[in-house]
Amino acid sequence: MNKMTTTVQQFYLLMEGKLSPALSGKYFDAINPSNGEVFAQMADADSIDVQMAVSAARLGFDHGRWPQMGMAERGEFLIKIASLIRENAKELADLECASTGKTIKHTTFIDVPTAAEAFEYFGHLPGNLVHETVRHSAPVLSTVQREPVGVVVAIIPWNYPLIMTAWKLAPALLAGNCVVLKPSPTACASVMLLAKLAAQAGLPKGVLNIISSSRPEAGQELVSSPEVDMVSFTGSTKTGEAVMALASKGIKKLTLELGGKSPNIVFADCDMEAALGGALSSIFMNQGQMCTAGSRLLVEDKIYQEFVEKLVARAQNLKIGPADNFETEFGPLVSIEHRNIVLKFIEKGKQEGAKLACGGNVPNINPKGAYLEPTIFTHVRNTMSIAQEEIFGPVLCVMPFTSADEAIHIANDTKYGLAAMVWTKDLEKANKVARRLRCGTVWVNTYGAFLNEVPFGGYKQSGFGRELGLTGFWEYTQIKHIATDQTPGGKSLVTSWF
């Protein structure tokens, strides 16, 4: 934390509909993990800024027009934000790349368009969705409608800042809530540019507040505020536990999108090229820093050796380098601190008896960057900590299996339940296996197919609640039944009981 002294780009908080520095005037550095350089400075919200953001949302909800507007009118603001995202796509992709270390190819072709598409999908949802059913049991007319929850606090992690922001803001705002969003201080520059675009979209005062803060307490302050009605949290399972405890005070509505240790099950009758590509992408895209990373690869023993040899060869061929180069396939991790945590897991894996088939070292690219080789462990037992803990880095644990039952047993033998992959040409078998896997998403002969229409979320300690789809939209609503006796003055059974 320091006073602004350099000329790098500065980003402000979005409070009460306008951009402003933190009250203290403090900023914190945004560091590019490709080279260790400071590329931006972020306004650093203190406790007072956090309180002001929540109060602005409270006022916006209790006294503003937003909750009363029709869905179509609110949807127009979302469409406007989407078009501003598309107009500023390059700057957003550059910032997402500089803050996370995700390759520029990834941020350009996945993160920015996916964020815009989420705003477009929710922005175009038909308004009649909030009136669920109407039943006329004469003389009483019953209507059931969905209403906004109130003030929503949205907290997101550093691995997909733009997409996570869009997945939370679009449905929460469409439902008529007023929102305070807090990105992770580790990577928040793209989100604070999005805050600027949201201000340009002209959302009414207090409807959306976005605050960056280097203080670990900022999230706790938001979740604990008595002015908040709902918390929508995405992050690690450990932090999710703390958030759940804090949200219990005041009985706040809560959704938790947490960690994963997803199994990738490869049967001998798979299309090997496709399965190799899927296995590689699922653990080495975004340098393995994905909640749905296929970090446990289960390969049927008949093809185990051939599959692992081919996979190792392909992992060793990935082009590692600075994330802003379009040729780079594998950039740095998000920070040197995070890389050190991943390196400790690698050491632990070796001590536990797993064998390094490739990687495990810091490549000679830039000592100030957070680089790490794609790493594959064989001779892994599912009880080892590298097979049970979410490493959140490019570290793959490979294990053989002999039968579908055994694969399913290993796959489910984890505290997590976010996603799984199954590779086989036998779709009947795939379907049977998919039904027995205890997780929120199963991808068959594919990986990472996220659709705006389809809910995404976890089983077990991967959390509860869903993002995306109508289910994701409904998370941000509560249900009201209005029963009206339509006879003048009311003459129903209840009023004539005594």
**Position 161 contacts ligand NAD (CB under 6 A):** no
- 67, 260, 322, 360: which one binds ligand NAD (CB under 6 A): 260
**Position 195 contacts ligand NAD (CB under 6 A):** no
Cβ neighbours of residue 278 closer than 8 Å, sequence gap 6 or more: 264, 294, 421, 423, 443, 445, 446, 447
Q: Give residue number: closest CB to ligand NAD.
A: 219
Quick check: 296 and 400 in contact, CB under 8 A?
A: no
Q: Which secondary structure element, helix H or strand E, spans residue 282, and what is its range?
A: helix 272-284
Is 291 one of the annotated active-site residues of the chain? yes
**Position 155 contacts ligand NAD (CB under 6 A):** yes
Interaxial angle between packed helices 161-174 and 71-87, expressed in degrees from 0 to 180 and rounded to the nearest 10:
160
Q: Which of 188, 270, 291, 358 is labelled catalytic?
A: 291
- For ligand NAD, the closer CB: 52 or 155: 155
Q: How far apart are CB 160 and ligand NAD at their closest, in Å?
A: 6
Is 227 one of the annotated active-site residues of the chain? no
Peptide bond into 157 cis (omega under 30): no
Cβ neighbours of residue 105 closer than 8 Å, sequence gap 6 or more: 326, 328
- For ligand NAD, the closer CB: 71 or 346: 346
Quick check: 188 and 99 in contact, CB under 8 A?
A: yes
Q: Which of 117, 221, 257, 390 is labelled catalytic?
A: 257
Q: How far apart are CB 475 and ligand NAD at their closest, in Å?
A: 13
What x/- string results for residues 383 through 412 when contact with ligand NAD is judged by CB under 6 A? -------x-x--------------------
- 219, 294, 322, 332: which one binds ligand NAD (CB under 6 A): 219
- 28, 66, 77, 158: which one binds ligand NAD (CB under 6 A): 158
- Lookup result for tokens 């995700």: 102
Sheet holding 230-234, edge to edge: 18-20, 13-15, 208-210, 178-182, 151-155, 230-234, 253-257, 463-464
- 81, 93, 95, 223: which one binds ligand NAD (CB under 6 A): 223
What whole-number distance in Å separates Cα of residue 128 and Cα of residue 183? 32
Binding range to ligand NAD, per CB under 6 A, among 48-56, 61-69, 129-137, 237-245: 237-245
**Position 157 contacts ligand NAD (CB under 6 A):** yes
Q: How far apart are CB 224 and ligand NAD at their closest, in Å?
A: 9
Read out DSSP for 386-452?
HHHS---SSEEEEEEESSHHHHHHHHH-SS--SEEEEE-S-HHHHHHHHHHS-SSEEEES-S----T
**Position 165 contacts ligand NAD (CB under 6 A):** no
Read out DSSP for 29-81?
EEEETTTTEEEEEEE---HHHHHHHHHHHHHHHHHSSGGGS-HHHHHHHHHHH
- 418, 420, 434, 442: which one binds ligand NAD (CB under 6 A): 418
Q: 396 has which bridge partners?
A: 376
Supply the DSSP symbol for 245.
H
- For ligand NAD, the closer CB: 346 or 468: 468
> In 124-188, where does DSSP find H-type helix?
161-174
Binding range to ligand NAD, per CB under 6 A, among 60-68, 152-160, 192-200, 472-480: 152-160
- Lookup result for tokens 């740095």: 332
Q: How far apart are CB 134 and ligand NAD at their closest, in Å?
A: 35
What x/- string results for residues 348 through 387 when contact with ligand NAD is judged by CB under 6 A? ----------------------------------------
Ranges within 426-445 binding ligand NAD (CB under 6 A) = none
Enumerate the active-site residues: 257, 291
Interface residue list for ligand NAD (CB under 6 A): 155-160, 182, 184, 216, 219-220, 223, 234-236, 239, 242-243, 257-260, 291, 390, 392, 418, 458, 462-463
